Amino acid sequence: MAAVQLSELTQSLSYLKPSDVARVEEAYRFSDTAHHGQKRMSGEPYISHPLAVAEILAHWQLDSQAVIAALLHDVMEDTEVSKAEISERFGRPVAELVDGVSKLDRLEFQSQAEAEAENFRKMLLAMARDVRVMLIKLADRLHNMRTLDAVSAEQRRRVARETREIYAPIANRLGLDSLYRELQELSFRHLYAMRYRVLAKAVRVARGNRREVVNKILEAIRERLPGAGIEATVSGREKHIYSIYKKMSEKHLSFSQVLDIYGIRVLVKDIPACYLTLGVLHGLYKPVPGKFKDYIAIPKVNGYQSLHTTLIGPYGTPVEVQIRTQAMHRIAETGVASHWLYKSTEAELSELQSRTHQWLQSLLDIQNASGDAAEFLEHIKVDLFPDEVYVFTPKGKILALTRGATPVDFAYAVHSDVGNRCISAKINYELVPLRTELKNGDRVEIITAPHAHANPAWLAYVKTARARSQIRHFLKTMQVDESQALGERLLNQALRALDSNVAAIQPEQWERLVRETSARSRQDVLADIGLGKRLAAIVARKLLTLSDHAGESKASGSIVIRGSEGMAVQFAQCCRPIPGDPIIGFIKKGQGLVIHTHDCPVARKSRGDSEKWIDVQWSPDTDRLFDVSIRVTVLDQRGVLAKVAAAIADSGCNIANISVDEDRGVYATNHFTLQVGSRLHLSKVMRSLRRIPEVVRLARIKSSENSR
């Protein structure tokens, strides 16, 4: 069987020079020897898999180096063949491609998730250097998905889910439309086997009922276009089952309500013919309002271009029509692989390569800003969602962003410095909040200030991976000094509990600790303690390696909270502590020390992890303002809100936010977020409010969820 496959492969390589085909055959023999005796789960010889992957690349007409790497892509992972051996035999470029695709199985990770994240990061960064790495990996994944029935049900679900969440979106991002559709379809079939079977049966039944209507539309289009002087290839296609399921799911439709299960594609010679064809079709059948999209004037981020319209055909049957040139069709089918497939100088290809290069460069930027592999993978997943919104800069340049993006995403898309110094934004010449969702066609202008900096609150609503990673990178850089100072205080507290202190620790002990923990320096260890990545108590015990230092624990004293520690100390939004409240501190990974009130229900749920709880107390001289929520129920009379606001202002207090319940009768309930200096300050405010005759009920709300 493998010999037959090799023969088919060499036949499909007719676009290569004979010398290159000979090199491919040599790579096959090398791979066959290396994998000798190995079997796939299906029982087939293992060599059948790399051969199938190479055939997929040959269909895309990639160069000989990529096809050779496809034949060898598993030898480093599954056999004793080394990268140096591949480099010597087939050249360094092939060895780099194989290495980029190979997993990191020989390294040890703390968890399966960490291993997968690190593997994926390595592969993406290799792709940023050479996109053929991902093309080989996508071909590898496609063949594995086609033969997934041979593995266990649990593994099928895991691989199918990973394909749906990561590899299919990457195929879409690289413009490989047919591959994207097939990966989605196969993922759906393995994740939801019963739903797939039911829908497949329904489509087969509907096929017979609707074929006559579709054929009638096809004939009408084929007759009308030549009359308008348009040469075109017209074909009908059935929508993928996953596309039908997605539409049913998103719009809450039954199968019988999904009428457009067929689509029509019209291929013409040039762009003017596309628009002329559109006019002819709209004259033939009425278009559905709001269902027209011009991806020729404004291509998708992955370079896809077409005109899309939905027509109402005979008997009221809606049919989606795609109109594109032959060149656009090639790019839609093979995406970034068109770079090798067609040695062309067409503007479409150069534009696609430019867009792809920009995205690959953004991967490197995100990698530089991300702390670890899991965070990098999280950012990339965010960036792979296919829906886009197109907005304009003040100079008229179009930027494509993830749907749901905000002005902050736009600012970081322009430049990281613009994002970091952003203070406000204008959309269509009007000032708007930074969390405003951008819409297609918006003109966005960012207003910056020299001393402004990224805000942690932005992470709650930014949508693009670039913005999220750049904000985190900026905050981490800013946090280092604050986290080190807090880490030293926490470590001192833990050492006092063991009858020691930081000053008593010798440099040799620090050096040994740094080596054992794989940290870069003592400052890194302290910063990790401050950020909650390491527990102070455990670090203290490691430092005190001599038995005479490790005495019985004693009262360790409390960490004093001044309120000016910066981002290393966070005040929990669930209970909003203010000076005067009894408080307790919780070390939370990545956030540092989080302060809760003693009676906070959220804190009570986490009390089991005693090593992460720290005794804290307020400094008598805190000098900042703290947010606190109050609920004020008043008689619903004219001018009462102004009285309440005036009383708050007269008490030396600032109102940060106000909202009013919609259900109003005799009484109205107002929710205020105030900024106070202490519990005594809040008491003064509440005494002033109680003197207002119209105030019926007054209470402090500690839970932000219940304050609405």
Return the active site residues. Answer: 77-78
- Cβ atoms < 10 Å from Cβ of 86: 24
Structure tokens at 120: 């994926």
Task: Mark residue 45 as left, alpha or beta (left: phi above 0; alpha: psi -120 to 50; beta: remaining).
Answer: beta
- Check: CB of residue 579 under 8 Å from CB of residue 679: yes
Alpha carbon 69 to its chain centroid, in Å, reads 29
| DSSP secondary structure code for residue 316 in this structure | G
Strands, E assignment, 206-272: 233-238, 262-268
| DSSP secondary structure code for residue 617 in this structure | E
Alpha carbon 89 to its chain centroid, in Å, reads 39
Closest CA to 11 of 55, 49, 69: 55
Structure tokens at 536: 């102070």
Beta bridge partner(s), residue 310 = 320
Q: Which residues contact 589 (CB under 8 A, 6 or more apart)?
A: 531, 532, 533
Closest CA to 56 of 150, 171, 220: 171
Beta bridge partner(s), residue 585 = 595, 614
Query: C-alpha angle 50/52/55, rounded to 5°?
Result: 110
Q: Is 507 exposed, middle or buried (0-12, 13-18, 19+ CB in 10 A)?
A: exposed
Three-class DSSP category at 373: helix
Residues making up the chain, counted from first to last: 708
Distance CA 145, CA 156 (A): 9
SS3 content of the chain, % helix, strand, coil (to 5): 55, 15, 30
User: Which residue matches tokens 């001599």?
Assistant: 546
Three-class DSSP category at 40: coil
Distance CA 699, CA 533 (A): 37
Distance CA 93, CA 175 (A): 24
Structure tokens at 445: 């202008």
| 3-state SS, one letter per residue, for 135-154 | HHHHHHHHHHHHCHHHCCHH
Closest CA to 306 of 274, 335, 276, 333: 274
Distance CA 685, CA 674 (A): 10
Distance CA 705, CA 708 (A): 7
Q: Where are the alpha helices (DSSP H) in 228-315?
A: 241-251, 271-284
| DSSP secondary structure code for residue 635 in this structure | E
Structure tokens at 591: 């956030």
Closest CA to 67 of 123, 25, 115: 25
- Check: CB of residue 467 under 8 Å from CB of residue 409: yes
Q: Is 620 exposed, middle or buried (0-12, 13-18, 19+ CB in 10 A)?
A: exposed
- Check: CB of residue 119 under 8 Å from CB of residue 141: no
Structure tokens at 371: 């702390």
CA atoms within 13 A on the CB side of 381: 14
Which amino acid is present at 639?
G
> Which helix or strand (DSSP H or E) is residue 311 part of?
strand 307-312
